Amino acid sequence: MPDFYIGLMSGTSLDGVDAVLAAPRGKRFQLIASLYRPYPAGLRARLLALHEPGRDELHRAATTANELSTAYAAAVRGLLARARVSPRAIAAIGCHGQTIRHRPDAGYTLQLVNGARLAELTGITTVCDFRSRDIAAGGEGAPLVPAFHRALFHSPRRHRAVVNVGGIANITWLPARGKVTGFDCGPGNCLLDAWIMRQRRKPYDPHGAWAARGNVMPRLLQKWLAHPFFRRPPPKSTGREEFNLPWVKRALSGTERAVDVQATLLELTATAIAQALRNYCPSAAEIYLCGGGAHNRALFLRLVGLLPDRLITTTSALGLAPEHVEALAFAWLARQTLKHRPGNLPAVTGASGPRVLGAVYPA
């Protein structure tokens, strides 16, 4: 039987598709090949527009899901060609889809993907819609990657935390002994990306270089940190519904330098991460960063400054590049689904119990 898996991840940053080919190797899950495909500007704009109510949005969501699934299929074909692997060797694709609404408080979450179309275009069994079952069981539906972090990064001798800095930042607490927990801790890259796009027409701030040129505004930072989300105890999750450009602008007077706003947004991300680690992972001696934000040098240095008593590095030190962790997690989750094994951690999401996640579209 085939035992290769493909993971597809497109996160809150809306930058593109990360695709990985993986295979189980004993207790590990080994990366075989990877591919990144940026979103065309038009697709990214259509996805961003769907985050807000608008005209004929049901039709626009359905047709955009079809377009997105075609892009996913192209990424799968490119990945298989790079690895010189046949589709027949793949047990399943695990596809997160593109989140456009995340409302566990209202009992639903929506990640755009047409699983049937993706299975049809690739000829490979496709697993998607991973969050809904956890929400149906009373959970937040996110984050889901802590179960994978436990499988791959747990040490019986060292207290570790894994911080995924995507559009939203989330933390997995991996004590050497005891219960694994995790939660979203606030904005990661989403506000930084939105502000630099508005001010400089750039999709992101490479290495945080622009933010590093600005000055943090303490009063503005405190206004943003007053958001109720930061005071909520875990389990908790969030998204663009709470942290978005209109929310940023409501705290501004209009006299601020744009570069100082960027610097203060970076400080917001770093402070939220550091406070969450101190409050909920106090004995985490080792902190491993993953996600696109792990490559933000200014953010990395600020975290080192805020947490001088901790080892801070990236998951590369554990053998997996930061940009591959989430996509690999969804390859792993697809395997969990096909093996009828739970993919959630109730201590992380707040669900009433472990659940097998995902909707399966057979090849």
pLDDT, tens digit, 9 for 90 and up, residues 275-311: 999 999 999 999 999 999 999 999 999 999 999 999 9
Same domain, 128 and 47: yes
Percent of the chain clearing pLDDT 70 (strictly above): 99
User: Is residue 159 included in any domain, yes or no?
Assistant: yes
- CATH label of the domain that carries residue 301: 3.30.420.40
Same domain, 283 and 156: yes
Same domain, 208 and 279: yes
User: Is residue 184 included in any domain, yes or no?
Assistant: yes
Enclosing H/E stretch for 127: strand 126-128
Give residue 155's pLDDT: 96
Same domain, 151 and 285: yes
Same domain, 16 and 111: yes
pLDDT, tens digit, 9 for 90 and up, residues 306-327: 999 999 999 999 999 999 999 9
Q: Pairing state of beta strands 181-187 and 126-128? A: unpaired
Q: Rounded to whole angstroms, what are the CA distances from 349 to 4, 130, 134, 313?
A: 28, 13, 8, 26
Count other Cβ atoms within 10 Å, centred on residue 318. 16
Residue 1 has pLDDT above 60, yes or no: no
Nearest to 236 by CA among 290, 285, 272, 283: 272
Mean model confidence pLDDT for the chain = 96
* Contact status, residue 363 vs residue 118, Cβ threshold 8 Å: no
Same domain, 42 and 161: no
| Total domains, the chain | 2
- Can you state the angle between helices 258-280 and 218-225, rounded to 10 degrees? 50
Count other Cβ atoms within 10 Å, centred on residue 126. 31
Same domain, 152 and 209: yes
User: Is residue 313 included in any domain, yes or no?
Assistant: yes
Same domain, 12 and 53: yes
pLDDT, tens digit, 9 for 90 and up, residues 232-270: 999 999 999 999 999 999 999 999 999 999 999 999 999
- Amino acid letter, 108: Y
Sorted by sequence, the CB contacts under 8 Å of residue 284 that are 6+ apart come out as: 159, 160, 161, 173, 174, 277, 310
Q: Rounded to whole angstroms, what are the CA distances from 194 to 70, 74, 100, 319?
A: 26, 27, 16, 31
Q: DSSP class of residue 99? A: E
Same domain, 172 and 269: yes
Percent of the chain clearing pLDDT 90 (strictly above): 94
- Structural domain of residue 310, as residue ranges? 145-318
User: Is residue 323 included in any domain, yes or no?
Assistant: no
Same domain, 170 and 291: yes
Terminal CA-to-CA distance of the chain, rounded, Å? 14
| Confidence bin at 15 (pLDDT 50/70/90) | confident
Q: What is the pTM of this model?
A: 0.94
